[in-house]
Amino acid sequence: MSRAERKADHIRHALVTGQMREHGFEDVMFVHQSLPNTSVKNINLETNIGTMNVKTPMFINAMTGGGGDKTYAINKQLASVANECGLPIALGSQMSAIKDQSEVNTYKVVREVNRNGIIFANLGSEATSEQALRAVDMVGANALQVHLNVIQELVMPEGDRNFINAIKRIEEIVKVLQVPVIVKETGFGISKEAATLLKEVGVSIIDVSGFGGTNFSKIENERRQHPMSYFNDWGITTAAAIAEVKHGAPTTSIISSGGIQSAMDIAKSIALGASAVGMAGFLLSVLMNDGEEQLLNEIKLIHEDLTYIMVALGAETIPDLQKSKIVIKGNTHHWLNERGIS
Ligand code: FNR
């Protein structure tokens, strides 16, 4: 199967098997405040992702990589939505374009359509610093995402089997690049131990990409004759992963992702310590099922809903929302207790 066919397969399976809603946010409750002392017009959604200032805490997370007309069309539509709504957008893995020049246009189109927007380049942790420089240059990216996807690779029959020295390559990439490096998971969550290692090599932004949304074990298992189903329930929920990273690397800028579908998921992510939130599978499914107009509408509604939630909490800014009062119950409480995270 070609890389383009495999990517199309991913999209098809992501839409069917993804978005499980087991991200742990059901265990996070806001404490109602009867005297919020603010109004809708005072709410400001601006935030910082590391040193990048952005108008809204939500962005379009990495999705479609590889070549082909379908990928090109999806990237063009996502870029147009990002441009219209002022959302940062991450590219899918650019490794295919680094190896095959004919695929470069699939990525360049995102910069062409979204001239002044914030774009994150994307490569896996197998990338060298020289490849990282090329990925950033390819689209004039404002940051580079380096993704970690051990479980997906193991479940993929043709996937990598050697994960030695990923942290060394990340350290080298951080040293060489002029733009910030975001290290992200791909739906299995970052632990406090991994976060500490990343912090030690100079990574300043971590995207937890936790369990509970798109599930790459399930997606890859759909294509296997003998499924490795023991990985289907594997991973740290998004809610727990935010707390893990905050504990393991307290000064990093935290991005929440993994199953984010609503303003309430965003608000809870921020209250747990994130400063921004990436959405992948959900936005893709709205785009594929209902089209670009409906996706624009959905993003507008999420911004409105987030504003109302912030009014109810009396949180006028994202830093205020980070300080809002929450109670954690159920499995997430148990997990954090067992892990010595308060
Ligand atoms: C992804 N994701 C991803 N991540 C990455 O860093 N590079 C990539 O190339 C891809 N490709 C990709 C394709 C498709 C079809 C999907 C749905 C997702 C992972 C994505 O960025 C995110 O980490 C996870 O999907 C979890 O978030 P959601 O989907 O639950 O919001």
Fill in the DSSP letter of residue 145. Answer: E
Write out pLDDT tens, residues 263-282.
999 999 999 999 999 999 99
Q: How far is the CA of 10 from the centre of ligand 1 (A)?
A: 10
pLDDT greater than 70 at residue 109 = yes
CA atoms of 212 and 237, how far apart (whole Å):
6
Close Cβ partners of 98 (under 8 Å, ≥ 6 residues apart):
123, 131, 134, 135
Nearest to 211 by CA among 340, 18, 341: 18
Q: Look at the alpha carbons of 301, 304, 310, 313 in this order and tell me if their dihedral is positive or negative.
A: negative
Which residue's CA lies nearest to atom 5 of ligand 1? Answer: 62
165-184 pLDDT, tens digit per residue, is 999 999 999 999 999 999 99
Report the separation in Å between the CA atom of 315 and the middle of ligand 1, taken as the mean of its atom positions. Answer: 30
Q: State if residue 106 touches ligand 1 by the CB under 6 angstroms criterion.
A: no
Please report, in angstroms and rounded to a whole number, the separation of the first and last CA atoms in the chain: 47
Q: Judging by beta carbons within 10 Å of its beta carbon (0-12, 13-18, 19+), is residue 254 exposed, middle or buried?
A: buried
Q: Is 213 in the pocket of ligand 1 (CB under 6 A)?
A: yes
Supply the pLDDT for residue 61. Answer: 98
Q: How far is the CA of 217 from the centre of ligand 1 (A)?
A: 12
**Tokens 């329930």 found at:** 233
CB distance 213 to 18 below 8 Å? yes
Is residue 262 within 8 Å of 298, Cβ to Cβ? no
Mutation choice for ligand 1 from 25, 63, 223, CB with most ligand atoms inside 8 A: 63
Q: What is this model's ipTM? A: 0.99
DSSP assignment letter at 203: -
**How buried is 151 (Cβ within 10 angstroms: 0-12 exposed, 13-18 middle, 19+ buried)?**
buried
DSSP 186: S
> Using a 6 Å cutoff on CB, does residue 258 contact ligand 1?
yes
**Binding site membership of 257 for ligand 1 (Cβ less than 6 Å):** yes
What are 144's strand-pairing partners? 121, 181
Q: What is the pLDDT of residue 68?
A: 84
Tokens of 307: 């504003």
Annotated binding site: 6-7, 62-64, 93, 122, 152-153, 184, 209, 214, 280-281
| CA 278 to ligand 1 centroid distance, Å | 10
pLDDT in tens, 65-74: 777 889 999 9
Which is nearest to 322 in space by CA: 278, 276, 279?
276
Query: Which has the higher per-residue pLDDT, 8 or 304?
Result: 304
**H or E, element range at 241:** helix 238-248
Q: Calculate the average pLDDT of the chain.
A: 95
Is 124 a pocket residue for ligand 1 (Cβ < 6 Å)? Answer: no
Cα–chain center distance at 184: 7
CA of 61 to the centre of ligand 1 (A): 7
Domain-by-domain residue ranges, the chain? 3-23+51-304
CA distance 220 to 237: 19
Of all atoms in ligand 1, which is nearest to the CA of residue 185? 23
Asked whether residue 247 carries a pLDDT value surpassing 90, the answer given is yes
Whose C-alpha lies nearest to ligand 1, atom 25? 214
Q: Name the DSSP class of 65.
A: -
- Distance from residue 58's CA to the centre of ligand 1 (Å): 15
Nearest atom of ligand 1 to the alpha carbon of 62: 21
Kindly report which listed range (17-21, 101-105, 281-285, 295-299) carries the lowest average pLDDT score: 17-21
With a 6 A CB cut-off, is 65 part of the ligand 1 pocket?
Answer: yes
Which residues sit in the known binding site for Mg(2+)? 153
Q: What is the DSSP letter of 209?
A: -
Q: Whose CA is nearest to atom 17 of ligand 1?
A: 281
Rounded Cα gap, residues 234 and 110, in angstroms? 33
Q: Quick count: other Cβ atoms within 10 Å of Cβ 212?
A: 26
Per-residue pLDDT band for 3 (boundaries 50, 70, 90) equals low
Using DSSP, state whether 201 is helix, strand or coil.
Answer: coil
The CATH number given to 3-23+51-304 is 3.20.20.70
Q: List, as residue ranges, the binding site for substrate.
A: 6-7, 152
Lowest-pLDDT range of 13-27, 165-179, 186-200? 13-27
